[in-house]
Amino acid sequence: MSDTVQAPQTRPSPTEKRFGWFLVATAAVAWIASFVLVLERLELYKNPGHVTSCDINPWVSCGAVMQEWQAALFGFPNPLLGIVGFAVVATIGASLIAGARFPRWYWVATQIGVSFAFVFIVWLWSQALYSIHVLCLYCMVVWAMMIPMFVFTTSRNIVAGVFGASERVRRAVAEWAWVAAAGLLLLAAASVLVSFSGVFFGS
């Protein structure tokens, strides 16, 4: 009679599992918004007179924003980047939920990708508010997901020692990450209210 030796089963830590669910949730919402934008952009290619589902008024109009050069900075519709990027983020989240462990270089690469996306949406936000002067509802959904995604991914990597931060810095980041995320979301909302104060509050 022979004994069968089974490999020990590892489970994801509660913190990593929660972070995985967070990535899946935020990436899924942002992916859906990006997907809708791609569909609307395709309709506009076929019919320039198409009224998009978020053409609410002259100041909130996805269709108007899509006609601007900023909406296709790299020669193709910006939401295509979201279709690919957010799918990758959701996959990372699902892998963490399943118990996957990634090496340091993988988290560095993830941080670079998420940071690029954050800088890009900050630029798009500035263009919408101060150059185009028109808001895109689905774009704002992506902004709202991208801000906490960037903050908490950065926080996770600092706390996990990916960047070699001191224990004091790690504790501070772990404690204040949610404040940073909330502050950036409030700042983004306030900037919209200020830039479009005439629309919201009258001239």
Task: Judge whether 164 lies within some domain.
Answer: yes
Res 200: pLDDT: 74
Task: Judge whether 202 lies within some domain.
Answer: no
Res 110: pLDDT: 98
Place of tokens 């009679």: 1
Res 6: pLDDT: 44
Q: What CATH number has the domain bearing residue 27?
A: 1.20.1440.130
Task: Judge whether 2 lies within some domain.
Answer: no
Task: Judge whether 137 lies within some domain.
Answer: yes
State how far the Cα of 105 lies from the Cα of 23, in Å rounded to an integer. 19
Task: Judge whether 125 lies within some domain.
Answer: yes
For helices 137-159 and 104-127, give the axis angle rounded to 10 degrees: 150
Res 65: pLDDT: 96
> Of 176, 175, 195, 196, whose CA–CA distance to 184 is shortest?
176
Res 203: pLDDT: 58
In total, how many domains does the chain have? Answer: 1
For 159, the domain range is 14-49+60-196
Segment 3-51, tens digit of pLDDT: 544 444 456 678 899 999 999 999 999 999 999 999 999 999 999 999 9
- Which regions in the chain score pLDDT beneath 70? 1-12, 202-203
Give the tokens for residue 123: 């630029």
Predicted structure pTM score: 0.90
